[in-house]
Amino acid sequence: MGWLKEGTRSWAIWNMKCPRCRTGNLFPTHTFSFQQPFEMPKRCPHCNQKYFPEPGFYYGAMFISYIITGWFCLAVMGILLLGFKMNVFGAFALLIFICGILFVWFFRISRTLWITIRVKFNSKFYKAQEEKH
């Protein structure tokens, strides 16, 4: 799959990497470890890019999160009601359960998308540390 090739923008978003160097992690822990789910370092550990360039920077990520979650819920309900012929209460219970598990991922992918829209990639920083050795 070309769009998930290492070093591409989509790969960096999917793996929640710093948009400038595509090397440092945006979040210190794994999404499904559920430890420090909403913590982000102040700066990229690799290229020192600020992760909070201005106050309220991630306000816009809320709208991305809303759009993703909305379409996701519609899709899941459609599949459960029309595909699996579940009743509405069962489908809603399952949807709430799925959203409970994916909540942190939605939060993180929204912030990743938002900072990737706002911060330019600079190939100078991409894995620059490995070249030094």
> Would you tell me which residues interact with Zn ion (CB under 5 A)?
18, 20-21, 24, 44, 46-47, 49
C-beta separation of 128 from 35 below 8 A: no
Distance CA(31)–CA(45), nearest Å, equals 18
Instruction: Give least dist CB 76 to Zn ion, A.
Output: 34
Least distance in angstroms from the C-beta of 119 to Zn ion: 9
Give whichever of 24 and 65 is closer to Zn ion, judged by the CB atom: 24
**Between 87 and 129, CB nearer to Zn ion:** 129
Cα gap 53→55, rounded to integer Å:
7
Cβ-based nearer residue to Zn ion, 43 or 102: 43
Smallest gap from Cβ 49 to Zn ion, in A, equals 4
Residue 21 or 109 having the CB closest to Zn ion: 21
Write 22-29 long-range contacts (CB < 8 A, 24+). Answer: 22/121, 22/126, 23/47, 23/125, 23/126, 23/127, 23/128, 23/129, 24/49, 26/51, 26/108, 26/111, 26/112, 26/115, 27/108
Shortest distance in whole angstroms from residue 132 CB to Zn ion = 15
